[in-house]
Structure formats: C-alpha cells, structure tokens
Structure 1
Amino acid sequence: MTAHDYAWIRSSPLFRHALEAGYTLTLVRDVAPGAVLRVMEAEPQGVCTGVDPLIGRQYELLDATDYRDASFIAGAFTVPGESGDWTVVLRFDGGGMRPRFVEALSSKGGRAVVHSSNGGKPIDLFHWYEDGKLRTTFEWPTAREGSAPGTLNPVMREVGFDLSDDEGDTGAPVDTKAAVLALAERLTGVRVTEELLRDAEYQLGQVPEEPAEEWNKIVIDITDADGERFYKEVTR
C-alpha cells in the first residue's frame, strides 16, 4: 500500500467532513471494542449502524453542552488485520486520543496506531505505540520523535513520504494524509475505506471530559525590557 491507494480521501464526502470537523482514528490490536471503550472510561451509548448516526450523536452532545464540554462520542468496531483482530475507534471532534488510553491499550505486547486532524487550520498527527510505549510520532514526516523515531523510515519512504530536508527538492508532491493512512495500513494490515467507515456497526461510548489537574503553586517570573525582574510564587 502507498499514498496512491488512498487518493480516494480527496473525493470522499466522509473524509472531507472528517478533515473539516476534526477526527481521530485509532487502531488497536487484540482488544475488543467494549474493552477499548472501558479503558477510555466511556459510558455505553448503545450501537448504531453507519457513520452518520455517530456524527449526529457527537453534534447532539455538543449542542447539549453548548460546546463548552470536552467530552465526546467514540464509535468502535472490529476488523481483521495483521496478527489478529483490530478495533477501529473513530471520533469526530479533533481532540486526539489521550496518551494514557493508548499506552494502556497497547501494553503487554500490544500495538496501537493513531492518526488525527484537529480541523480548521489543521494540525495533523501520527502516533505508533508498541508495548505501551510511544515509538514514533510526527506532525511533519521529517521531524519525528519517540523512543524509535527512525525505525519506520524505510516503510515511510515506500508509502510515499519524502524524508529529505532539502528545500530545493523538485520531486513530485506527496499527499501526506494519504501517506499516513498507507503507513497505518502497513503497521496494522487494516485497509481503511470509505465503505468500511460508512457502513460499520459502531459500539458507542461517551468519554467524559478530562478532569483538571490539581495544583498547589504557580510561579510568576517576568523580566521587562530594562532587565527588571518580577518573581513571585503563589501557593494554594
């Protein structure tokens, strides 16, 4: 699979909505949809057939909370892939997948792959987790991070990424989002198609807003243009 095999995303109404509204697509090996949603601390919301009801439930949630709540609706279903079954988790609000969820879902020899866009003026991200650890992540393919940022270089080149830092490169442009989907397939064996996402039977769950972190101190440290410094610690 290469970026060419995912050229369909540019003529897909579903994927156009995903890019405009924001989306996160997560693939998890050998963890059933219900178990994935439990790890995500989701409250069960029944089952729906097709992606349109999933999108509709997300908008209903946003309307009910007047867009002020960061909770979201996730839909999950199972497909066969490399070395077992994979659960596909889809959400439409561009909030990404919380790292602690993916770490837990990929622990004990597991694997998880996540790609997302936050919509609008997008930040497009890719994450590959193995055995509970983030192996490779990037927004730009030439600026990779993680515990093994270079491991995927050969397969990234094969699917179409240009990993050179040469600004004068005149090679054919690559659709990086299509290349990300091809890379995800290489890591999972799951071919994502419009039909797969459009017609799946989704188990639904409402994932609550992440609680605010507790704090007991803040530090104000400001130096003005004349070199005068103001420093103060405020303790709760």
Structure 2
Amino acid sequence: MTSATADYGWISPSAPFGYALGAGYSLVLVRGTDPEDVLRHAGAEPDGVLNGFGALAAEHADLLDEYDGWPDSTLAGVITVPGEGGEWTLLLELGGDALGLSPRFMEAVSAGTRAVSVTGNAGKPMTFLHWYEDRALRTGFEHPAHREGATPDALTALITAVGLNPVGDEPAGTDRTAAFFALAERLTGVRITGELLDQAVYRTGLVPEGTHDEDGPGL
C-alpha cells in the first residue's frame, strides 16, 4: 500500500464497509448541491433517516429479503461532507445497477458543478471511477490504462500518485479500491473515513429500477 492509499486501509471485507463490497455500491460526491436535490435527480422515493452505515446495510439486507429475486429498487443514503470549495453531498447507493455508472444521473447532478463517483461491482474485482464537470464526462475508467472522456489524460499524474498505472497493469498486490478512493479525494477534497460512514445520519431514498438507465425516470 502506498502512502497515498494508506488512509483507505479501512476498506476491507472484514470491516463494516465489507457489506458494500459484497453487495455492490456507488459512492458519488457532488459539490454544492443539496442532498435532497441529489436524491431527486436519482428519482428516489424518500425512505426516512438512518443512523450509521450499519443501519443502512441492515435496511438494504431487509430490502433484499423482501424479494425472491433481485429487488425493483436500490437503497441510497445521502449526507453533507466538507470538501474543496465548500460543502459536498455524499451519496452511497447499495446494490443495483449503480448510479455512478449512469451517464444520465451523473450528467444531471454535475450540471454547473463537479461530480465524482467510485463504483464497485458486487462479487467481482471491478472498480470504476468517473469524473464529470458541468454534464461532461472528463475522465472515466475501470482500468486506468483504458480511459474515456473528453480529457482522458488529465488525471495521469494523479493516477500515478495513488499507485495506479496509467499505461499498463498495476503491480501485484495493488489495492485498487483504496487507490480509487484516494483519487476521488484528490478530485474533491473529501476525506472519506470508516468513522465518517459508520457515524453518519443518512437521509435515505429508494431508487426505482430503470432510473440508472439512459431513459430512466426521475431526472
């Protein structure tokens, strides 16, 4: 683990956030936008307030138990956090198709501002980062050597600084999830800690299936 990713050693299958690693998640950071507006852009139906990540995970587990197959909604919680240039909204979605991978959602929440997402696919070693400015994808990737967006080379120095390889494979043992979180911090100024997620009071919403799609509702 590099010095850049050491602050994200709490991201572990054995830690509370391990539930998100197993269920799949999107963590989205949006500058200067109210949490309620971020949930509205997600098409979310308000679902109350939950104290702490453990309660958010338990609520998601209960949602899964209500269905024989995959539920027709995902659970998202939002909080306000300090970052570069003022307050940011942090949205954490558990399960589902992943708001952080939805161009429709990311374009909507980044209108006139910046939005950054880190998304982990459940059960597979896949992590994605997307950086939007004013509705435009600047840089996005799963593997840093294969980037897309209007400015695919804009993050080359930062990608290298967090221990990833912008031109090839990472060295064996690279903690890619920690590196992606460290890169998101460099783009937002938001330091995400296990304590922050564990102790937060989340305003929650149920995101209906299809909201993630290009033609989905609510955006």
Distance 2:163 2:47 in 1: 39
Shift of 1:18: 1.7
Aligned with 1:126: secondary structure? strand
Distance 1:136 1:142 in 2: 12
Q: Is the 8 A contact 2:73 2:208 kept in 1?
A: yes
Q: CA RMSD in A?
A: 2.2
Shift of 1:81: 0.4
Distance 1:173 1:45 in 2: 40
Distance 2:152 2:25 in 1: 24
Q: Is the 8 A contact 2:115 2:133 kept in 1?
A: yes
Partner of 2:178: 178
Q: Which residue of the other structure, out of 78, 97, 100, is the alignment partner of 1:76?
A: 78
Partner of 1:193: 193
Do residues 103 (structure 1) and 107 (structure 2) align? yes
Partner of 1:142: 145
**Structure 2: which 5+ residue stretches go unaligned?**
none
- TM-score norm. by structure 1 comes to 0.82
User: Where does 1:1-236 land on structure 2 (aligned, <5 Å)?
Assistant: 2-10=4-12, 13-93=15-95, 95-97=97-99, 98-108=102-112, 110-165=113-168, 173-210=173-210
Q: Count residues with an aligned counterpart.
A: 210
1:96–1:213 CA distance, 2 compared to 1 (3 A): closer
Q: Which has the larger radius of gyration?
A: 1
Shift of 1:20: 1.6
Q: Percent identity?
A: 47
Shift of 1:12: 5.2
Could you list the per-position Cα deviations for residues 86-114 of structure 1 after superposition, in whole angstroms to 9, with x for gaps in the alignment? 11111221521132111111012x11111
